[in-house]
Amino acid sequence: MLFIDFPALSALAAASATITQPCSCCTVPLAAWQRLPTSLELERFEEIGTLREDAYEEPTFAEYHPHGTRYDSEDAPIAPHYYPANLSQVARCLNCGRHYLRYNEAGGYFTELRIRALRPALLVDAPL
């Protein structure tokens, strides 16, 4: 799968921000990480790349919240070197072209697909 670096991710986020047409992918607010809403059809998204640099290296589970945000905060930064962005794939809506981050949360006894809108104002190229 194609690795998407920070400049490419920034460009995708900027492109998504200019899309104004209504679409089923944005009827549910996806500003913060959340499980995939049942109203979204998975087959309407195309995976275009990954933020995971090395599939064989164990990624960090440290989160990046320098201003006191939390995982589920709408204004939490999107820092590709930090969890959960570092486990994410970039997906594009086939209907409108908006971009989202998706990853599979695997905890204890379950797995759950999580999704978040890719918003340029929240991108941070924070080193580990």
Q: What is the pLDDT of residues 50-97, one digit of tens each?
A: 999 888 999 999 999 999 999 999 999 999 999 999 999 999 999 999
Mean of pLDDT values over 10-27: 94
Counting beta carbons within 10 angstroms of the beta carbon of residue 83, is it exposed (0 to 12), middle (13 to 18) or buried (19 or more)? Answer: middle
b (16+ CB within 10 A) / e for 29-39: ebebbeebeee
Predicted local confidence at residue 29, as pLDDT? 87
Predicted local confidence at residue 17, as pLDDT? 95
Q: What is the pLDDT of residues 96-118, one digit of tens each?
A: 999 999 999 987 788 899 999 99
CB 106 within 8 A of CB 92: no
In 10 A of CB 64, how many CB atoms?
19
